[in-house]
Amino acid sequence: MKHSPWNWINPELTELQTTTLLKYKAGEEQLSALFGLKKGFTVTKCCNRNWEKEMAPGKKGILERLNAGEVVIGDGGFVFALEKRGYVKAGPWTPESAVTHPEAVRQLHREFLRAGANVMQTFTFYASDDKLENRGQNLKLTGVQINEAACDLAREVANEGDALVAGGVCQTPSYLSCKSETEVKAIFKKQLDVFLKKNVDFLIAEYFEHVEEAEWAVKVLKTSGKPVAACMCIGPDGDMHGISPGECAVRLVKAGAQIVGVNCHFDPMTCVKAVKMMKEGVEKAGLKAHYMVQPLAYHTPDCSCQGFIDLPEFPFALEPRILTRWDMHKYAREAYKSGIRFIGGCCGFEPYHIRAVAEELAPERGIMPPGSEKHGMWGAGLEMHTKPWVRARSRREYWENLSPASGRPKCPSLSTPEGWGVTKGHSDLMQHKEATSSQEMKHLLEMQKKAKSTA
Ligand SMILES: [Zn+2]
């Protein structure tokens, strides 16, 4: 029987670790020498060495880049993109595919890198232990396993280009269920321990609806000494307790975040507006920060303060709202003009959206993304099209001024958001390990009926 090298050396050693060792740490000779060692030999020592650090020589850190006024391009949304590809379950939205389908996660990282992203965010959204066992989920994987695998994948791809690895934490079901500050902080600390072991380049606390929980996350992440970015998933109306974007930002900066902004929940222009309000708040308070924005790739002019979660189309019928690549040019320019230098995306953002951001800001960055090899600026490649009327579209003015049709004769342009007014502390938000019961479902359908009749 031919032994697979990773099982033979160490049953716990994954294919990823082995290929990474092959590529960066050990030459083939060294590895074959390792293969010659007796069964049970552990290469944990090799893996625990900070070879990640050795593997990223000469890269500028996140603050070094932002302090120099450089534009940093973030990646796009993983949960939504991988859900559509069949690797994430809508509902829990947890990132176990970092362990179960590393090839899918690695490929998406690669596509964002090729699109021009400078940051590979670890696919650790909702990878906290309390979320992984929420409402009947039975993964048989620990949070540590998922976080470790996600760090390895992000590092592997970051090393293929000019990208940094950011370890990410986000809001927890424990906070919504009114667990104590100590309990919630312990959840963040567990993820941070993995990020430190894997030596990520910086940290992002993102997707917080309540600034209080975001502050707790920042304080935990700050203990590492690594740069910390903090994003709320809020719009101009502020957090779920009505705290304005300006005040949220001031509190996050005071908690120790060097970069503040918003992600998810709202469309690009709304998010840019919220970050502008943050910037004004921070400046008014006499503080200093860098700013980031990672919005949705969906148009959300009809959303109230909870954002796209309240839209009747969330999450399975949002497609008519997707921004085009040309919308992304406008977004990137607006974000840049507003003084935001860390510009990326969240749910709905596919690699081609990030490529559009990188292309718009190519003059400022002085580089075009590798993915643009197959994409002439402003549709220039259409000059090669067989049909003359399509060749006529190979110019900026055409795409910049187009108002695309939806093709849906009965499709309304706006929806009525649900707005149940349920947030932290409400009994219907309490999380538990058991699956949602039929009694709970019955209650929810009644609530839905009531909400519809009063809308
Ligand atoms: Zn998102």
Q: Over 142-174, what HEC string results? A: CHHHHHHHHHHHHHHHHCCCCCEEEEEEECCHH
Burial zone of 194 (CB within 10 Å; 0-12 exposed, 13-18 middle, 19+ buried): buried
Q: Whole-number mean pLDDT of the chain?
A: 88
Residue appearing with tokens 């149940």: 420
Is there a domain that residue 253 lies in?
Answer: yes
Q: Predicted confidence band at 99 (pLDDT cuts at 50, 70, 90)?
A: very high
Highest-pLDDT range among 35-44, 269-278, 424-433: 269-278
Q: Which stretch of 32-36, 102-106, 116-120, 190-194 has the lowest confidence by average pLDDT?
A: 32-36
Which residues contact residue 270 at a Cβ distance below 8 angstroms, ignoring those fewer than 6 apart? 235, 236, 295, 300, 301, 303
- What gap in Å lies between CA 387 and CA 57, rounded to an integer? 49
CA–centroid distance, 302 to ligand 1, in Å, is: 17
- Per-residue confidence (pLDDT) for residue 129, from 0 to 100: 87
Helix axis angle, 325-337 relative to 268-284, nearest 10°? 10
- Inform me whether the pLDDT recorded for 24 exceeds 80: no
Exposure string of 32-71, with b = 16+ CB inside 10 Å and e = fewer, is eebeeeeeeeebeebbeeebbeebbeebbebeebbeeebb
- Per-residue confidence (pLDDT) for residue 454, from 0 to 100: 74
CA–centroid distance, 144 to ligand 1, in Å, is: 23
287, two tokens:
């503080």
CA distances from 347 to 3, 4, 95, 120, 367 (A): 41, 37, 14, 15, 26
Positive or negative torsion for Cα 160, 163, 164, 169: negative
304, two tokens:
């109230």
- Per-residue confidence (pLDDT) for residue 153, from 0 to 100: 98
CA–centroid distance, 443 to ligand 1, in Å, is: 28
- What gap in Å lies between CA 257 and CA 203, rounded to an integer? 10
339, two tokens:
């003084």
- Give pLDDT tens digits for 303-342: 999 999 999 999 999 999 999 999 999 999 999 999 999 9
- Per-residue confidence (pLDDT) for residue 455, from 0 to 100: 67
Q: Predicted confidence band at 426 (pLDDT cuts at 50, 70, 90)?
A: confident
Using DSSP, state whether 1 is helix, strand or coil.
coil
Helix axis angle, 211-222 relative to 181-197, nearest 10°? 40
CA–centroid distance, 362 to ligand 1, in Å, is: 25
- What gap in Å lies between CA 277 and CA 293, rounded to an integer? 12
Tell me the residue range of the domain where 255 lies. 49-384
Is there a domain that residue 328 lies in?
Answer: yes
- Per-residue confidence (pLDDT) for residue 451, from 0 to 100: 83
- Give pLDDT tens digits for 167-179: 999 999 999 999 9
Asked if 230 and 260 touch (Cβ cutoff 8 Å), the reply is: yes
Which residues line the annotated binding site?
A: 264, 346-347
- Give pLDDT tens digits for 107-136: 999 999 999 999 999 999 999 888 888 888
CA–centroid distance, 433 to ligand 1, in Å, is: 24
- Per-residue confidence (pLDDT) for residue 56, from 0 to 100: 55
CA–centroid distance, 80 to ligand 1, in Å, is: 8
Asked if 253 and 287 touch (Cβ cutoff 8 Å), the reply is: yes
228, two tokens:
């910390």
- Per-residue confidence (pLDDT) for residue 119, from 0 to 100: 98
* Residues forming beta bridges with residue 164, ordered by sequence position: 119
* Residues forming beta bridges with residue 342, ordered by sequence position: 72, 292
CATH number at residue 84: 3.20.20.330
pTM > 0.95: yes or no: no
Asked if 271 and 328 touch (Cβ cutoff 8 Å), the reply is: no
Is there a domain that residue 43 lies in?
Answer: no
Which residues line the annotated binding site for Zn(2+)?
A: 264, 346-347
- Inform me whether the pLDDT recorded for 52 exceeds 90: no
CA–centroid distance, 23 to ligand 1, in Å, is: 33
Positive or negative torsion for Cα 47, 50, 52, 55: negative
CA–centroid distance, 47 to ligand 1, in Å, is: 32
Is there a domain that residue 119 lies in?
Answer: yes
CA–centroid distance, 321 to ligand 1, in Å, is: 15
Is there a domain that residue 451 lies in?
Answer: no
Helix axis angle, 102-114 relative to 351-360, nearest 10°? 20
- What gap in Å lies between CA 196 and CA 121, rounded to an integer? 14
Average pLDDT over residues 432-437: 86
* Domains in the chain, number: 1
- Inform me whether the pLDDT recorded for 61 exceeds 80: yes
CA–centroid distance, 120 to ligand 1, in Å, is: 15
CA–centroid distance, 393 to ligand 1, in Å, is: 33
Q: Predicted confidence band at 29 (pLDDT cuts at 50, 70, 90)?
A: very low
CA–centroid distance, 164 to ligand 1, in Å, is: 20
- Inform me whether the pLDDT recorded for 3 exceeds 60: no
